[in-house]
Amino acid sequence: MFFLIFPRLVLEFLLDIIFFPLWWYTGGIAYAIGAARNLLSSANANLAPFMWLKNLFVPMFGQHDFQGRMVSVIMRFLNFIFRGIALLLSTVLVFALLLAWVLAPLGVVYMLIVSLAA
C-alpha cells in the first residue's frame, strides 16, 4: 500500500510546487482583487463621504435659522473632509496589501536565493 500511495504523494507535491506560481498570479490574484474591491466598497459604504457632501446645505435637527444652518454646513463639511481622508487612507492600505500579495512569492524566492548563496 505504501508503494502505491507514496509516489502519488510525491508527484502531487511536486506538481503543487510547480503550479503554485501559476495559480498565485491567475486565480489567486483574481480572488485578491475581488477581496480588495469588497473592502473598498464596504469602506465607502461605512464612511460615505459623498453622502455628507450631498446633504451639505440641508439643516440638521430641523434648525432652519442662520446659526443652525451654519453649524450644519461646518459640521458636514468637516465630516466630509475627515471621512474622505479615512477613505483615501483605507484605499492606500488596500492597494498596499494587494501589492504585498503580488510581491510575496518574489520576496520568498529572493530570500531563498540569498540564503542559499551565502
Grid cell locating 63: 434648525
On whether the CB atoms of residues 82 and 13 are closer than 8 A, the answer is no
How many domains does the structure of the chain reveal? 1
pLDDT at position 62 is 82
Closest CA to 69 of 77, 59, 79, 78: 59
Its domain, for residue 19, covers 2-117
pLDDT at position 44 is 96
pLDDT at position 14 is 93
Q: What is the CA angle 90-60-42, rounded to 5?
A: 20
pLDDT at position 45 is 96
Closest CA to 60 of 47, 44, 76, 48: 76
pLDDT at position 1 is 74
Low-confidence ranges of the chain (pLDDT < 70): none
pLDDT at position 93 is 97
pTM of the model: 0.80
Largest CA distance in the chain: 87
